[in-house]
Amino acid sequence: MKELWESRKKLVESHLEKELREAAPLDKTLEEAMAYSLLAGGKRLRPILLMAAADAVGTDGTRFITTGCAIEMIHTYSLIHDDLPAMDNDDYRRGKLTNHKVYGAGMATLAGDALLTLSFEVMLRQQGVSDAVRLAVVREMSQAAGRDGMVGGQAIDLESEGQEIPLERLRQMHLGKTGALFRAAIRSGALLAGAKTEQLAALTRYAEAFGLAFQITDDILDVTGDEATIGKPIGSDERNHKSTYVTLLSLERAQRLAEETVAQGIAALQPFGDEADFLRELLRSLLGRKQ
Amino acid sequence: MKELWESRKKLVESHLEKELREAAPLDKTLEEAMAYSLLAGGKRLRPILLMAAADAVGTDGTRFITTGCAIEMIHTYSLIHDDLPAMDNDDYRRGKLTNHKVYGAGMATLAGDALLTLSFEVMLRQQGVSDAVRLAVVREMSQAAGRDGMVGGQAIDLESEGQEIPLERLRQMHLGKTGALFRAAIRSGALLAGAKTEQLAALTRYAEAFGLAFQITDDILDVTGDEATIGKPIGSDERNHKSTYVTLLSLERAQRLAEETVAQGIAALQPFGDEADFLRELLRSLLGRKQ
């Protein structure tokens, strides 16, 4: 499993660079700024989930690496914009200076804009699927990334700054901010691989559990994690009076909820055989997250 | 012509609102911020060009109002981000406070992000065309709006602030910043209407002339325009030491170049009959621009 993860991660790294550098850029600094964040490492979890979902449906997931790169571009753009002075105003990300600390807030805004736009171009480069499937993926991604998905969740986050919010609003925020893109990754992998309706439904339930478990364990990490490993200061949520699953539920109850959610996600995969083992492993690994 | 222009503009206004409000939003402030700029008036030139290009090919352009709305969303997002404090830092746009002056720079960034993302969702709502054509339009738009189009041009602009740049670099900047989206509007209209190869080529030449003439007359307006009509202060380019066609060429030579460019665009439409009259009129009207 560890080996599969690593080999897929390497595949993502090399393809990201290829998709980014497809053509000579109009402005070199802009391309540099895009590459700075896109090629800065990271877990590459979204493309890995996309490929693993295709595996589960019975098609080699690496065939869809192109669409995997597209979703990683969306994720990277969202990090660049989140870090901006007008948003979270973060100086470091994955132990490196944030994009605007290196290129300035104007260029960082543009680098994010360009990565989001490029992601749609890259989705269309996906080979070996019908036009109808390609369109379904564009629809999936645009809905997940936009007003009622990732950007919507980010807006709730921005408006909730420094104040306690109810658990239901917190859930909505994360459904948008991180859940929607995980869901789109997994559903896109399934759509590309030609999943049947029941398979798509099962994978969607898995995806929703994955998103929730990811967020709860992310909140737990902010309290229990190691600063050097996660690449940002510990306890920042509490200092910033941010509502999290830990502050609203207690550490113990948050841990229990994470375990229950993982169990639900595994149960959702019941219709699949061992071709879904990687998906199972990815979900279980959240409970032991170090970063 | 004036009547056709006004009726199409009204059509755009009503459809923009419909496409924006399609679903209940996750965050109300975000939707408000999107609507604030999207429904703030404006010439609606890009959707009008898109429809006029379809007319020229012989299909009623109003059939493609949905894609017209999508491109107006891309244009609006670019204005919101351009106005941000980290970019041009403008307080007014079309005589109204800019988005970030009302909603803050963080929410304005998100409103732009959400409009860009929504535009791709809206493109897919276009009825009455094949999947292949829908994909061709998404490709056209993503290439025009991104790194090697609009965002690339904006990056050149940001880097050239306060310094004189050579005419060739100025041309590249505008090809990206405004030309690419005009080109995509006209080509998308042609593609949606099923244009033949020669028709598409002719309309592309027209589009390139349109983009250049638009920019030159824009630069001229900054010197000769009426502050109340154009909704922003006169002479701001010169005060900001911005290179323009007027500062690099002189007012007279810029005017002559605009006239020549308009003539070239009209000549490109030679293969078309009177079904391209609106396109001709739209291009000629640039020479008499008041806003």
A28 contact B CB<8A: no
Nearest Cα neighbor of B192 from B140, B261, B254 is: B140
Please name the residues between 142 and 181 in chain A that touch chain B, using a CB distance below 8 Å.
142-143, 145-149, 151-156, 158-159, 172, 176
pLDDT at A225: 81
pLDDT band (50, 70, 90) for residue A231: low
On whether any CB of chain A is under 8 Å from the CB of B188, the answer is: no
Q: Does A21 touch chain B (CB under 8 A)?
A: no
Domain that holds residue B61: 2-197+273-284
Contact (CB, 8 A) for A69 and A17: no
Judged against a pLDDT cut of 90, whether residue A142 lies above it is answered with: yes
A80 touches chain B (CB under 8 A): no
Per-residue model confidence (pLDDT) at position A94: 86
Alpha-carbon gap, residue A23 to A118, rounded angstroms: 12
Evaluate if residue B291 carries a pLDDT over 70: yes
Residue B149 lies in a domain: yes
Q: Is the pLDDT of residue B262 over 90?
A: yes
Residue A232 has what pLDDT? 66
What percentage of residues in chain B have a pLDDT greater than 90?
A: 86
For A272: left if phi > 0, alpha if psi spans -120 to 50, otherwise beta; the answer is beta
Instruction: Concatenate the DSSP letters of all residues of A60-115 into one string.
Output: -GGGGHHHHHHHHHHHHHHHHHHHSTTTT--SEETTEE-HHHHH-HHHHHHHHHHH
Residue B239: partners with Cβ closer than 8 Å, 6 or more residues away: none
pLDDT band for position B225 (cuts 50, 70, 90): confident
Return the number of other C-beta atoms located less than 10 Å from residue B180's C-beta.
Answer: 26
Q: What tokens appear for A98 in the block?
A: 């944030």
Polymer length in residues for chain B: 291
Is the pLDDT at B1 greater than 90, yes or no? no
pLDDT level of residue B24 (50, 70, 90 thresholds): confident
| pLDDT tens per residue across span B138-148 | 999 999 999 99
Rg (CA), chain A: 18
Q: Looking at residue B163, what DSSP letter applies?
A: S
Q: Kindly report which listed range (A226-230, A261-265, B169-173, B219-223) carries the lowest average pLDDT score.
A: A226-230
Structure tokens at B246: 């007027």
Query: What amino acid is encoded at A16 in this protein?
Result: L
SS3 A188: helix
Q: How does pLDDT run across A174-188, given as a tens digit for each residue? A: 999 999 999 999 999
Whether chain B has a CB inside 8 Å of the CB on A236: the answer is no
> Which of B21, B22, B26 to mutate to probe the A interface, most A CBs <10 Å?
B26
Per-residue confidence at A211, pLDDT binned at 50, 70, 90? Answer: very high
Cβ-Cβ contacts under 8 Å, A156 against chain B: 26-27
The H-assigned helical ranges of B166-226 are 167-174, 180-192, 197-224
Q: Which residues, including other chains, have CB under 8 Å from residue A199's CB and lie 6 or more apart? A: A56, A57, A190, A271, A272
Q: Which amino acid is at B52?
A: A
DSSP string, A9-42: HHHHHHHHHHHHTSS--S-HHHHHHHHHHHTS--
Please tell me the predicted confidence (pLDDT) of residue B132: 97
Give Cα A73 distance to the centre of its chain. Answer: 10
- Per-residue pLDDT tens digits for A34-69: 999 999 989 999 999 999 999 999 999 999 999 999
Q: Residue A93 forms beta bridges with which residues?
A: A96
CA distance A204 to A196: 12
Give the three-class secondary structure for B92. strand
d(CA A212, CA B148) in angstroms, rounded, equals 37
Q: Is residue B18 part of a domain?
A: yes
Phi, psi angle pair for B93, to nearest 5°: -150, 125
Tokens linked to B64: 């493609």
Do B140 and A24 meet the contact criterion of CB atoms below 8 Å apart?
no
Instruction: Annotate A79-109 with b (16+ C-beta within 10 A) or e (fewer).
Output: bbbbbbbbbbebeebeeeebbbbebbbbbbb
Residue B248, in any domain of the structure: no
Average pLDDT of chain A is 94
The answer to whether the Cβ–Cβ distance between A146 and B117 falls below 8 Å is yes
pLDDT given at position B257: 97
Specify the pLDDT at position A288: 86
Does the structure show a pLDDT above 70 at B232? no
Structural domain contains residue B215: no
Q: How many domains does chain A have?
A: 1
Q: Angle formed by the axes of helices A28-38 and A65-83, to 10°?
A: 100
Identify the sign of the CA torsion B264, B269, B271, B277: negative
**Residue A281 touches partner B, C-beta closer than 8 Å:** no
CA distance B143 to chain A (A): 7
Residues of A in Cβ contact (< 8 Å) with B174: none
Determine the Cα–Cα distance for residues A195 and A201; give it in Å rounded to an integer. Answer: 9
Q: What is the pLDDT of residues B32-64, one digit of tens each?
A: 999 999 999 899 999 999 999 999 999 999 999
Alpha-carbon distance A110 to nearest alpha carbon in chain B (angstroms): 6
Q: Domain of A112: which CATH number?
A: 1.10.600.10
pLDDT score recorded for residue B82: 97
Q: Are strands B96-97 and B92-93 parallel, antiparallel or unpaired?
A: antiparallel
Give, to the nearest 10 degrees, the angle between helix B150-159 and helix A105-123.
160
Mean pLDDT on B126-131 = 97
Please name the amino acid found at residue A204. T
Antiparallel, parallel or unpaired: β A96-97 and A92-93: antiparallel
Question: Residue A25 contacts by C-beta under 8 Å, 6 or more apart in sequence?
Answer: A31, B147, B148, B152
Domain assignment present for residue B208? The answer is: no
The separation between CA B76 and the C-alpha centre of its own chain, rounded to angstroms, equals 9
Q: What is the mean pLDDT of chain B?
A: 94
- Dmax (CA) of chain A: 52
Chain B residue whose CA is closest to A33: B155
Using CB atoms, which residue from A31, A145, A156 is nearest to B117? A145
Candidates B82, B109, B130, B178: best to mutate against A (most CBs of A within 10 A) is B109
pLDDT at B280 over 80: yes
Task: Using CB atoms, pick whichever of A121, A141, A142 lies closest to residue B146.
Answer: A121
Cβ-defined contact of A146 to B118 (cutoff 8 Å) = yes
SS3 percent helix, strand, coil of chain A, rounded to 5, is: 75, 0, 25
φ and ψ of B97, to 5 deg: -55, 145
Q: Note the ipTM here.
A: 0.95
How far apart are alpha carbons B100 and A111 in whole angstroms?
A: 19
Of the CA atoms within 13 Å of residue B284, those in its CB half-sphere come to: 11
Q: Which residues of B touch A86 (CB under 8 A)?
A: 84-86, 100, 104-106, 108-109
Please give the average per-residue pLDDT across A271-280, as a whole number: 97
Q: How confident is the model at residue A230 (pLDDT cuts 50, 70, 90)?
A: low
User: Given this model, what pLDDT does residue A133 score?
Assistant: 98
Task: Give one DSSP letter per residue of B93-152, joined into a string.
Answer: ETTEE-HHHHH-HHHHHHHHHHHHHHHHHHHTT--SS-HHHHHHHHHHHHHHHSTTTHHH
Could you tell me how many CB contacts below 8 A there are between chain A and chain B?
179
pLDDT of residue A164: 86
Interface residue B259 vs chain A (CB under 8 A): no
Residues 105..134 of B with a Cβ closer than 8 Å to A: which? 105-110, 112-114, 116-118, 120-121, 124, 130-132, 134
Residue B227 resides in a domain? no
Q: What's the mean pLDDT in A198-220?
A: 97
Q: Which of B100, B120, B174 to mutate to test the interface with A (most CBs of A within 10 A)?
A: B120
In a domain, B142, yes or no: yes
Residue that wins the pLDDT comparison between B135 and A239: B135
Quick one: average pLDDT of B72-98? 96
The Cα A85–Cα B86 span in angstroms is 10
Say how far apart CA A154 and CA A160 lie, in whole Å.
Answer: 10
Q: State the amino acid at position B173 in one-letter form.
A: M
Tokens, residue A126? 């996906």
